[in-house]
Amino acid sequence: MEVILARSAGFCFGVARAVRMAEELAASGRRAKMLGHIIHNDYEIARLAGLGLAVISSPQEAEEGDCVLLRAHGESRAAHEALASRGTQVVDATCPKVARVQQIVREAEAEGRHPVMIGDPRHPEVLGVKGWCSGLEVFSGPAEVLSWAQTLANSTDLPIAVVAQTTLRREIWESSLKILKKQCTNLKIFDTICNATHTRQSEAALLAAKVDAMVVVGDPKSANTKHLTEICRLHCSRVFQIECADELPWKGLSDSAVVGLTAGASTPASIIKEV
């Protein structure tokens, strides 16, 4: 069986940076904690916990003097403030590209624009961004955008600023924008889809189109892994999403001469190598 590995598979810049910050914090000897999962990969979180970084699920669990690491997907303003009020030292691993989205919605609202985000309303990144302004509208795609835009019939000139979840699929962004451009006359567009996401998605599509089967490696909670799987399914009839080598679907792959392999942006290199 020939295996072709996508060049972009694995850690993106933001995840690599968060993991490096976690390792440095663990090595510093300070009392260190991670607020939630700093990246979407249970194996990596378990490895970091093994280095001494305890996981807490809310700022209220932090104690005075703790060093608290914030996840790559970012946290809300309320979480930052709650940690500061508890006398903790914050080590912010928010990916700079996510921090930019937080800044855009904050500034847009201050300028009197209505902030709109296209993305998954339950995803931690979106929830974090929501916490940096007071009235963020979140739509998962064109159908929701359309029904909202239709309610603006008498206020099509409402000033709007639209941003994307950094891992959004480009087609969803483009089709949502098409509707907004048609219905809204005062629209400011911020294309905040991350290049790392875009590169992974286009490479996965090209690879999926030329192999017999595709394997996508990543945590089931990872949005970008899920999107890679969806994109591969548009180009290849046999696509398997797995978390680690133990889940390799031998039966499904048995008559595949060429298998493509890609991985989400939070999948560690060691797991990809094992697969």
Q: Of 44, 75, 125, 243, which is the active-site residue?
A: 125
CB 182 → ligand F3S: shortest distance, Å?
A: 28
Active site includes 125?
yes
Number of other residues whose CB lies within 10 A of the CB of residue 44: 23
| Residue of closest CB approach to ligand F3S | 14
CB 245 → ligand F3S: shortest distance, Å?
A: 24
79 vs 149, which CB is nearer to ligand F3S? 79
Q: Give the strands of the sheet with 67-70, arranged side by side.
A: 54-56, 32-35, 67-70, 89-92
CB 32 → ligand F3S: shortest distance, Å?
A: 21
179 vs 196, which CB is nearer to ligand F3S? 196
Interface positions with ligand F3S (CB under 6 A): 12-15, 72, 95, 97-98, 166-167, 194, 196-197, 265
25 vs 259, which CB is nearer to ligand F3S? 25
140 vs 165, which CB is nearer to ligand F3S? 165
Pairwise CA distance, residues 236 & 213, whole Å? 7
Catalytic sites, residue numbers: 125
